Structure 1
Amino acid sequence: MEKLFKIKERGSTVGTEIMAGVVTFMTMAYILAVNPDILSGSGMDKDAVMLATCLASFVGSMCMGLMANLPFALSAGMGVNAFFAFTVCGTMGYPWQVALFAVFVEGMIFIMLTLTNIREAIFNCIPMSLKQSVSVGIGLFIAFIGLQNSNLVVKSDSTLVDMVDFSDALYTKGICAVLAVLGLLLIAILHVKKVHGSILVGIFFTWLLGIGCELLGFYKPDADAGFYTLIPSFRMTDFSALGKTFGQCFNIDFSGIGIFNFIVVMLSFLFVDTFDTIGTLIGVSSKANMLDEKGRLPGVKPALLADAIATSSGAVLGTSTTTTFVESAAGVGAGGRTGLTAVVAAVLFLISTLLAPIFTAIPSFATAPALMFVGFLMFSNISKIKFDDDNLTEAIPAYFCIVAMPMFYSIADGIAVGVISYVAINLATGKFKKINPLMYVLAGLFILNYVFL
């Protein structure tokens, strides 16, 4: 243990690392309910996605623990799974098998980019203010998804979005919104009281309240309207369901798509995943105070390599991009300082395959409070951004980055806006010496991406 993880050298103990791994798993286990719910929107089987998520989380977290010796756990990334389901498979209309293959290809490209230090250079060239804003923006983006899934936010012809009509509280949509609010309040209270696993408790509490409402007749299942029964059917995990997604990324027909169109999709994933991954890793490291004074993460190269390997293996298993989770900061807060924390979380994800029927039965309005509260955890990094007059050339691009993510419904677009505006503002105000040369390249690539892709 000591030779592999250097536990004593980092001022920790085996017991502390194990407990930190349990805490990390408990705070991010909601993804086992959320990811199948999101990806099922692309036509994928919920049970298959759940199993793929467990196995991809196991592989990614084990790689992070053993290769990078960092206490970060990995699972299907929030934000990029929404891009997968709602943009690539929804707006663009591509089959989910094509989207999975695109994830696999860009994962392999990431491995090569990591081995050549390009991803590490990108990570290090982004200024600290933008790194903090990425975490904040992702938080708002995830919270917005939660507001939609809870039915608290509904469509509006005049203002694009509006609040649900609570006056009709007995209507099923209103009940879902009310229950989501109660679940969010519970999570917040438990978190303040420092109860580990508060997010998971909130999910199950909201779900149980929903079952009670269904039994009392307030919640009325209507499959056509997207409201299904909340009462789970207890059964053994059907491991054969994994066959519905395993290896399907290689079972595609380009005849109806075209190689050029696929390259466009793959490059879109490449841009989204590159900066989603870097942004999330920045957010986790920043939240856990693991960045040095220059904003760099010691051991970032093996961490990025573990992330890339997890992405490709996750695509083969049947899930969207696997990435480092910001909730890993909870494990760090519990004392986790080595890769043993990640290994423990990995083992727990593997055991969770036995609970697949339970997690896949959890409704969207029950997982929505988790998304909204995780948004708060990430939003708290805004306090680290300096908004005084002496730092306006840092603060303004950070603000643009934060606002763009939820408004454009894209993490990658948020980072693009932040990078382009940072270069433009500092260049125009004569502060070009502070701009890393690689930032000019990134800004140019982002502009080309908008023009041609």
Structure 2
Amino acid sequence: MVTGLLTRTRGRVDSFFGIGIHGSTVRRELMAGTVTFLAMCYVLAVNPSILGDQGDLGAQGIPTQAVFTATAVAAVVGSLVMGLWARYPIALAPGMGLNAFFAYSVVLGMGIPWQVALSGTLLSGVIFFVLAVTKIREKILNAIPLQLKLAVAAGVGAFVAFLGLKNAGIVVDDPATLVGLGDFTQGATVLALFGLVLTVVFLVRGWHGAVLYGIVATAVIGMLTGLVDIPDGVVSMPQGLDQTFGQALIHLPDAFTAQMAVVVLTMLFVDFFDASGTLIGVANQAGLLNAKGELPRASSALSADAVGTMAGAVIGTSTTTAYVESTAGVSAGGRTGLTAVVTAAWFAVAMFFFPIFVVVAGSGAVTAAALIVVGVLMARSLGDIDWSRLEFAVPAFITIIMMPLTYSIANGLAMGMIFYPVVMVARGRFREVHPVMWVLTVVFLAYFFLLAE
């Protein structure tokens, strides 16, 4: 009887996800989901270190345990929606880069309370959802030049890597030159360098959990040398959501300001194109694109990403988005939504291990390598930018360089958007500038001259 029940259950799962049709097996999907989790669960340590009140944000940050729990819950919800609705082997979690924008540009840079920033995240998710289920999505995608999309991805990568270098003490402030090289005799800096080298070695060797393994090894060495605190426990019940859940809704009226409009627009832009690129890239690797190179059920997939963002904001974390680390699961054989469901299950289990993750989150030396490596991976889009044409090279370069140098993703994005129409007009190609780009140019000019502090 038990065997028969298992067979029927397996058959229903196979039928719902189309496992056999895609040439996969339930066992392979289970393994792929596990590999995806190992490749991306570093977010459980890094996200609290960026958004939490035990990191750079200090008293302005979200309670660290609340961020940890919210990160895990958002990953569970987002991945389940993607797996069960869109049925793609793509997992979701709070996105790297967007969490940095949330923390350093919005909360620290603009002085906006994290509760209001969550409201902005929620609004960006709502707009994203509307765009995903309508044809407006295609119009916007076509309006923004590919070169700028590539530059934004690379710029966010540069900004994230800069954060990692700063947290590690490898790059420090210098009154004479603004920035300088850190003191390599400091234990924390040496530990961070060790973690970076180890993570890079794991990555080059092709280990799917390279970032996670690097974090674990660095944390262990740090504990043995007294540079990292030893956890005071292993397992604990998930806590903290009472401090963040619903704050995005409560403070929603405060998000309808001109300053927040720029914040919401930036969140929407980065998430919109990052999600689109990730979905296409992962689906292409899995052989799920159709004969025209289009993504079947694209609206459902992007809608799932938007739902994840809305849910994450209400729960208490920054923008939730599709993770490029899902390619690790695809390389392990994942082809259907069951892979994402399994990843969600692992995140549900992980939320009970806060005592371990909080120690990692509280040490910039331990998480630095993860940020730097993520920056490296995001910088891959640099190779696709047409540097031989100044009308593309100038706005792309300005976008990329201004993000880390102004310590703001929004500033870099805005500068690039402003320069693109300028160089196109200078080239005599102003007719090729989409009307949407002119609207965005006006919005960002207003941001710099009227709203920026």
TM-score by length of 1: 0.85
- State the alpha-carbon separation in 2 of the partners of residues 180 and 231 from structure 1: 17
Indicate if the aligned counterparts of 1:276 and 1:412 stay in contact, CA closer than 8 A: no
Find the residue that maps to 1:162 and give its secondary structure.
strand
Output the amino acid matched with 1:385.
I
2:300 counterpart of 1:302: yes
Select the residue among 82, 105, 114 that pairs with 1:64: 82
TM-score by length of 2: 0.85
Structure 1 pair 280–411 and aligned structure 2 pair: CA distance change class (3 A) = farther
- The gaps in structure 1 that reach 5 residues or longer are 220-228
Deviation, 1:115, is: 3.3
Cα deviation digits, residues 280-318 of structure 1 (max 9, x gap)? 224524654738999975544323322222122112211
In structure 1, the residue matched to 2:265 is 271
Cα deviation digits, residues 352-387 of structure 1 (max 9, x gap)? 112122111112210110110111112123222333
Name which of structure 1's ranges 346-355 and 90-99 shifts more when overlaid on structure 2.
90-99
In structure 2, the residue matched to 1:233 is 232
Select the residue among 176, 185, 188 that pairs with 2:197: 185
* Residues 401-412 of structure 1 mapped to structure 2, 5 A cutoff: 401-412=399-410
In structure 1, the residue matched to 2:216 is 204
In structure 2, the residue matched to 1:367 is 367
In structure 2, the residue matched to 1:222 is none
Question: What is the percent sequence identity of the aligned residues?
Answer: 44
* Residues 367-406 of structure 1 mapped to structure 2, 5 A cutoff: 367-388=367-388, 391-406=389-404
- State the alpha-carbon separation in 1 of the partners of residues 179 and 434 from structure 2: 39
Indicate if the aligned counterparts of 2:67 and 2:316 stay in contact, CA closer than 8 A: yes
Output the amino acid matched with 1:51.
T
- State the alpha-carbon separation in 2 of the partners of residues 283 and 134 from structure 1: 12
Structure 1 pair 59–438 and aligned structure 2 pair: CA distance change class (3 A) = same
Indicate if the aligned counterparts of 2:280 and 2:295 stay in contact, CA closer than 8 A: no
- State the alpha-carbon separation in 1 of the partners of residues 241 and 198 from structure 2: 34
Indicate if the aligned counterparts of 2:417 and 2:437 stay in contact, CA closer than 8 A: yes
- State the alpha-carbon separation in 2 of the partners of residues 294 and 449 from structure 1: 40
- State the alpha-carbon separation in 1 of the partners of residues 241 and 330 from structure 2: 32
- State the alpha-carbon separation in 2 of the partners of residues 298 and 123 from structure 1: 17
- State the alpha-carbon separation in 1 of the partners of residues 449 and 77 from structure 2: 37
RMSD: 2.8
In structure 2, the residue matched to 1:195 is 207
Find the residue that maps to 2:351 and give its secondary structure.
helix
Output the amino acid matched with 1:280.
D
Structure 1 pair 297–149 and aligned structure 2 pair: CA distance change class (3 A) = farther
Output the amino acid matched with 2:345.
V
In structure 1, the residue matched to 2:176 is 158
Structure 1 pair 382–357 and aligned structure 2 pair: CA distance change class (3 A) = same
Output the amino acid matched with 1:245.
T
- The gaps in structure 2 that reach 5 residues or longer are 1-12
- State the alpha-carbon separation in 2 of the partners of residues 350 and 4 from structure 1: 22
Select the residue among 321, 331, 334 that pairs with 1:336: 334
In structure 1, the residue matched to 2:148 is 130
Aligned residues: 427
Name which of structure 1's ranges 235-244 and 23-32 shifts more when overlaid on structure 2.
235-244
Select the residue among 305, 308, 311 that pairs with 2:309: 311
Structure 1 pair 315–337 and aligned structure 2 pair: CA distance change class (3 A) = same
Deviation, 1:197, is: 0.6
Cα deviation digits, residues 133-152 of structure 1 (max 9, x gap)? 23222221111111111111
Deviation, 1:175, is: 1.1
Structure 1 pair 11–137 and aligned structure 2 pair: CA distance change class (3 A) = farther
- State the alpha-carbon separation in 2 of the partners of residues 350 and 299 from structure 1: 27
Deviation, 1:50, is: 0.6
